[in-house]
Amino acid sequence: MAIKTALDRFNTMDLRDYAGMAVGIIDGKIAFKDKNPRKVMKRLLDQQEDKEVALICVPKVKMAMSL
Protein backbone atom coordinates (compact mmCIF):
# COMPACT_ATOMS: atom_id res chain seq x y z
CA MET A 1 0.00 0.00 0.00
CA ALA A 2 1.33 3.42 -0.93
CA ILE A 3 1.78 5.66 2.08
CA LYS A 4 0.18 9.01 1.33
CA THR A 5 -1.23 10.28 4.60
CA ALA A 6 -0.17 10.67 8.19
CA LEU A 7 -2.65 7.96 9.16
CA ASP A 8 -1.13 5.58 6.59
CA ARG A 9 2.27 6.21 8.17
CA PHE A 10 0.92 5.94 11.70
CA ASN A 11 -0.63 2.58 10.82
CA THR A 12 2.75 1.22 9.75
CA MET A 13 4.74 2.52 12.72
CA ASP A 14 5.80 0.27 15.53
CA LEU A 15 5.53 2.72 18.39
CA ARG A 16 7.89 0.61 20.47
CA ASP A 17 10.70 1.93 18.27
CA TYR A 18 9.91 5.48 19.38
CA ALA A 19 9.31 5.12 23.14
CA GLY A 20 10.06 8.37 24.91
CA MET A 21 10.22 10.33 21.66
CA ALA A 22 8.16 12.89 19.79
CA VAL A 23 7.95 12.12 16.08
CA GLY A 24 7.09 14.62 13.35
CA ILE A 25 5.39 13.35 10.20
CA ILE A 26 5.10 15.51 7.10
CA ASP A 27 3.04 14.33 4.13
CA GLY A 28 3.26 10.70 5.22
CA LYS A 29 7.01 10.69 5.90
CA ILE A 30 8.76 10.64 9.26
CA ALA A 31 10.61 13.94 9.04
CA PHE A 32 12.23 14.21 12.46
CA LYS A 33 12.15 12.97 16.02
CA ASP A 34 13.29 14.48 19.28
CA LYS A 35 12.84 13.96 23.01
CA ASN A 36 11.51 17.51 23.22
CA PRO A 37 7.92 17.61 21.91
CA ARG A 38 7.93 21.42 21.90
CA LYS A 39 10.68 21.46 19.26
CA VAL A 40 8.89 18.92 17.09
CA MET A 41 5.55 20.70 17.35
CA LYS A 42 7.12 24.05 16.49
CA ARG A 43 8.78 22.62 13.40
CA LEU A 44 5.50 21.07 12.33
CA LEU A 45 3.57 24.30 12.85
CA ASP A 46 6.19 26.09 10.75
CA GLN A 47 5.36 23.94 7.75
CA GLN A 48 3.36 25.35 4.88
CA GLU A 49 -0.40 25.26 5.24
CA ASP A 50 -0.90 22.78 2.42
CA LYS A 51 1.17 20.08 4.10
CA GLU A 52 -0.42 17.45 6.31
CA VAL A 53 1.62 17.09 9.48
CA ALA A 54 1.31 14.90 12.56
CA LEU A 55 2.82 14.92 16.02
CA ILE A 56 3.23 11.46 17.57
CA CYS A 57 4.44 11.36 21.16
CA VAL A 58 5.11 7.91 22.54
CA PRO A 59 5.20 7.36 26.30
CA LYS A 60 7.03 4.46 27.87
CA VAL A 61 5.68 4.53 31.42
CA LYS A 62 1.94 4.73 31.58
CA MET A 63 -0.75 2.72 33.29
CA ALA A 64 -3.98 4.62 32.86
CA MET A 65 -5.35 8.11 32.71
CA SER A 66 -9.10 8.03 33.07
CA LEU A 67 -10.55 11.36 34.07
Partner 1 sequence: MDLDYSKKEPIVFPYKHQDIYVKGKLEKVLRPMALVGVKKQNFKMNALIDTGSDRTISFLNPFGYQFGVGDTIEGEPDELRGLTGTEKAFPTHMDIWIGEHRLNVPIFWVTRPFKINEDYEMILGRKIIFDNFDVLFRQKEKKVYFYKI
**Residue 43 φ/ψ, nearest 5 degrees:** -65, -35
Asked if 29 touches partner 1 (CB under 8 A), the answer is no
CB of 34 to partner 1, least distance (A): 9
Asked if 24 touches partner 1 (CB under 8 A), the answer is no
Q: Are strands 21-26 and 29-34 parallel, antiparallel or unpaired?
A: antiparallel
CB of 6 to partner 1, least distance (A): 5
Reduced to 3 states (helix: H, G, I; strand: E, B; else coil), residue 2 is coil
Nearest to 22 by CA among 38, 5, 46, 6: 38
Asked if 54 touches partner 1 (CB under 8 A), the answer is yes
Which chain residues interact with partner 1 by CB under 8 A?
Answer: 6-7, 10-11, 13-16, 19-22, 25, 35-38, 41-42, 44-45, 49-67
